[in-house]
Amino acid sequence: MKANLDVQPLHSWIDTGGKPLLIAGPCSAESEEQVLETARGLAAQGIGHVLRAGVWKPRTRPGSFEGKGEEALPWLQKAKAETGLPVAVEVATPQHVELAMKYGVDILWIGARTTVNPFNVQDLADAMKGLDVPVLIKNPVNPDLALWVGAFERIAGAGIKKLGAIHRGFSNAQEVKYRNSPMWQIAVEFKSLFPQIPLIGDPSHMAGKRAYLAELTQRAMDLNYDGLIIESHRNPDEAWSDAAQQLTPAALKDMLEGIEVRQATYGSDFQSELDRLRQRLDHLDRELLEVLASRMSVVEQLGEYKRDNNVAVLQLDRWKQVHGSRADWGKALQLYPEMVEELFKLIHMESIRKQTEVMNQAPAK
Ligand code: PEP
Ligand code: MN
């Protein structure tokens, strides 16, 4: 899936003084006062490099507040003139792009509900041809890395070089802790495919609730994200959209002060200890694979035995027993239960595959 995208580094288009980029501001622009007061609050706290505000709001259900539209764009201009903060808005149609440009919006982002649709993304790409504006692309609502990558290919194909990826998590069918499941591994995979594209964490839309913002922000920083986009509102409880996840500028500053930003690079003292620990991991991983290989050879013998005695591959009772005992053993070893469960699902799937293969071979004479 490697595409060669021509991307300009983040710091060539925005100066963050070497710190992670922070885009902050309300979920939605609601009124001139609300935008100005929030922007002033951020400036007074000395936080934020960019002011965000949704002007056109893609709402899951009709009847919710759908944004102020064009009317709100001059409010952003005013906020920028007063605070010096460049402004960012979400665009979902060519008309949004045109209006955003007309009112001097500095940065555009494509929302998660737009990234899912290649027709929409292509329309946006066509509308962006010839523009020199940074475009941030949120991950699609469903956990599909290829859709996210495809959106970058389309927008880059229109000649946009100032690109960034926003990881906002993925919608989940069941009621779980976070509003959107982070599925960090998808963002990490994205980063390994496109190390040149800045990765920006959106803890607000992952969390859904203020209480979870700090842990998600810390996680993004621990994974070396290049920046964050966090919703901030002068009076979060009164917000017209996403009230439960927004913070006042002062609370946002407090939250950020509790976050450790770790260095991506390290000095030579750390290097040798790091090398030593990594070597131990290399060694242990090798042993893990050797154990797996031994396990597979027993699986193969078991497959032959079942075949020769005409017994089906899958015995549900046995699988339930395996599942339960491994969960208990993992617990006793203080391993994360979900990891143990996933691991054994994979191992079991592979055992079934192997035994089915053996079943379909003629017995050795
Ligand atoms: C937003 O940033 O306010 C927004 C609508 O986000 P998403 O597209 O991630 O749902
Ligand atoms: Mn929002």
Average confidence (pLDDT) per 10 residues, the chain, 365 residues: 84 94 98 98 98 93 91 98 98 98 98 98 98 98 97 98 98 87 94 95 98 97 96 98 97 97 74 87 94 95 92 86 93 94 93 92 74
How far from 243 is each of 188, 287, 334, CA to CA, in Å?
Answer: 29, 50, 37
Q: Can you tell me which atom of ligand 1 is nearest the CA of 111?
A: 8
Distance, CA of 153 to CA of 164 (rounded, Å): 12
pLDDT at 2: 61
Dihedral angle sign, alpha carbons of residues 113, 114, 118, 120: positive
Q: Pick the closest to residue 134 from 160, 169, 96 (CA basis).
A: 160
Q: Can you tell me which atom of ligand 1 is nearest the CA of 241?
A: 3
- Give bridge partners of residue 164 from the DSSP assignment: 136
Does residue 203's CB lie within 6 angstroms of at least one atom of ligand 1?
A: no
- One-letter amino acid identity for 54? G
Judged by its nearest atom, the ligand closest to the C-alpha of residue 179 is 1
Does residue 55's CB lie within 6 angstroms of at least one atom of ligand 1?
A: no
DSSP summary character for residue 241: S
Distance, CA of 188 to CA of 199 (rounded, Å): 9
Distance, CA of 192 to CA of 287 (rounded, Å): 26
First vs last C-alpha separation in the chain: 45
- One-letter amino acid identity for 65? F
pLDDT at 1: 66
Which residues are CB-contacts of 150 (< 8 A; sequence separation ≥ 6)?
118, 121
Rg (CA), the chain: 25
Buried b (16+ CB within 10 A) or exposed e, 92-120: beeebbebbeebebbbbbbbbbbbbeeeb
205 Cα–ligand 2 center, Å: 6
Phi, psi angles (nearest 5°) of residue 177: -60, -50
- One-letter amino acid identity for 67? G
* pTM of the full structure: 0.80
How many Cα neighbours within 13 Å face the side chain of 335? 14
111 Cα–ligand 1 center, Å: 5
Name the residue of 113, 167, 171 whose CB sits within 8 Å of the most ligand 1 atoms, as the mutation to test its pocket: 113
Tokens of 340: 């143990």
Phi, psi angles (nearest 5°) of residue 229: -125, 120
Residue found under tokens 């994360």: 336
Distance, CA of 33 to CA of 21 (rounded, Å): 25
Judged by its nearest atom, the ligand closest to the C-alpha of residue 54 is 1
Q: Can you tell me which atom of ligand 1 is nearest the CA of 168?
A: 9
Does residue 234's CB lie within 6 angstroms of at least one atom of ligand 1?
A: no
Name the residue of 38, 51, 90, 181 whose CB sits within 8 Å of the most ligand 1 atoms, as the mutation to test its pocket: 90
pLDDT at 228: 98
Name the residue of 142, 168, 231 whose CB sits within 8 Å of the most ligand 1 atoms, as the mutation to test its pocket: 168
Does residue 52's CB lie within 6 angstroms of at least one atom of ligand 1?
A: no
Q: Can you tell me which atom of ligand 1 is nearest the CA of 205?
A: 9
Does residue 67's CB lie within 6 angstroms of at least one atom of ligand 1?
A: no
